[in-house]
Structure 1
């Protein structure tokens, strides 16, 4: 029989993402190497929230499928069906990683030629004027 961990109250269940074994430098990190605990994962289940949330109009800020970031000290790691899961309160989640097509900082702003956006790193073409 398969089991599902159903979180209670303001708890969130997060599945860890496999650590990237290839670093930007091209170095391959072998399995078993001492690594810090994962700090991002995918939400697989959320609790209903706290009793007073509904009256106050508060909704759970994350949903199943969200790619979230959390501190290494967040929650408790449990194993269910041979899968490592993090159970933590929603307040321990630092944020949701979202894909964006356009940088909200530099889009619509006139970056000087040759400068780069401090948020997304996009660079503009030098204007050739000095």
Structure 2
């Protein structure tokens, strides 16, 4: 089916984890580097924000809950829009509901975003 069958958690779990780790890394830098890394991290919030908005949910609440659960150590928590368990809400471990994305798809998307960002940055300067 595909040459690289590696998978990563879907439902915006991967994007939130990347954003969280990049934000942590940005605190180790200073000056404009810190700001640039933090803004790059913030851009990964677009995926969960879009999922939440399209589902009619409050994106800020969802993103806050995702960050809280990821900070407690569960990197596989994403947005479950089926709502089977009202006690857990929409933020749950997506590996338990089998929501996965292909690793190579995420890798190419991040590479292209990074390349586009650097091109735009060069144009502005």
**Structures share fold, TM-score greater than 0.5:** no
TM-score w.r.t. the length of structure 2 is 0.19
Structure having the higher strand fraction is 1
More helix by share: 2
Give the TM-score normalised by the residue count of structure 1: 0.19
Greater relative contact order (Cα 8 A, min sep 6): structure 1 or 2?
Answer: 2
